[in-house]
């Protein structure tokens, strides 16, 4: 992943952090641990590539599913570990369409721009990511692992009066240097997901008895 690409991501996160700091009281103290099973779509933005022989291949939009383990402290910051799997199908003129079996994992720092336990909460997050394809495009017996980062935003729609459980809508951008047959190229893969957040422990709000 190039320095130039990171320069484009960091300023946006800094601006969002500044906005959050300028809104005292919007993100009140909260805390707790939750688990969120989710399902969604894996969307490669660079969905076509060429190999060294100039043959064209397509990276298809695929389903993706996984789980998130989230911890909110007593302030506006939280931490989240995410894992997901997608068949990540690839096809082309010289190969039949096949699954590359993508596993993605990330650890994100979350910043609450409104109280997480509000009827509707809004947050952003960013952190390192690891993407492993169990099969390469041209060699099914070879895996490939790429290191990169992820940044995104999400909405939390609380269920019930306590707000301990919720529906979550997340959009994440995974950015990394990936080699799909023609050498390393910068990639942006979008994951849009819908999940059910289940409280595991801790307090959802500091004002709770």
Residue 150: the pLDDT is 96
Residue 181: the pLDDT is 61
Residue 164: the pLDDT is 77
| Full set of structural domains in the chain with CATH | 3-201 (2.40.160.20)
Under a CB-based contact definition with an 8 Å cutoff, are residues 82 and 65 in contact? no
Nearest to 133 by CA among 94, 201, 87: 87
**Residue 13: which H helix or E strand, with range?**
helix 3-21
CA–CA gap between residue 178 and residue 185 (Å, rounded): 6
In order along its 209 residues, the chain shows pLDDT tens digits of: 444 444 444 444 444 444 444 333 333 335 689 999 999 999 988 755 555 455 567 778 899 999 999 998 877 899 999 999 998 877 655 556 677 888 999 999 999 998 766 789 999 999 999 998 876 655 555 667 889 999 999 999 988 776 778 999 999 999 988 766 666 778 889 999 999 999 887 654 444 43
Residue 174: the pLDDT is 95
CA–CA gap between residue 167 and residue 183 (Å, rounded): 40
CA–CA gap between residue 1 and residue 175 (Å, rounded): 8
What secondary structure, in 3-state letters, does 145-204 show? EEEEEEEEEEEEEEECCCCCEEEEEEEEEEEEEEECCCCEEEEEEEEEEEEEEEEEECCC
């Amino acid at each position: 992943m190039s320095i130039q690409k990171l320069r484009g991501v960091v300023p946006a996160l800094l601006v969002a952090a500044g906005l959050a700091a300028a809104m005292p009281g919007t993100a009140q103290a909260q805390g707790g641990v939750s688990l969120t099973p989710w399902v969604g779509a894996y969307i490669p933005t660079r969905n076509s590539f060429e190999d060294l022989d100039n043959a064209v291949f397509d990276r298809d939009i695929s389903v993706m599913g996984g789980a998130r383990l989230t911890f909110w402290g007593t302030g506006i910051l939280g931490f989240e570990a995410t894992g997901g799997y997608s068949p990540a199908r690839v096809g082309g003129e010289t190969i039949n369409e096949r699954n590359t079996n993508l596993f993605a994992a990330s650890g994100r720092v979350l910043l609450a721009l409104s109280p997480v336990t509000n009827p509707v909460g809004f947050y952003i997050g960013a952190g390192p990511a690891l993407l492993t394809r169990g099969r390469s495009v041209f060699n099914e017996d070879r895996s490939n692992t790429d290191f990169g980062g992820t940044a995104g935003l999400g909405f939390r729609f609380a269920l019930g009066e306590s707000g301990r459980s919720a529906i979550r809508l997340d959009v994440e951008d995974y950015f990394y240097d990936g080699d799909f047959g023609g050498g390393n190229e910068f990639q942006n893969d979008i994951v849009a997901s819908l999940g059910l957040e289940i409280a595991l422990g801790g307090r959802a709000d500091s004002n709770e008895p």
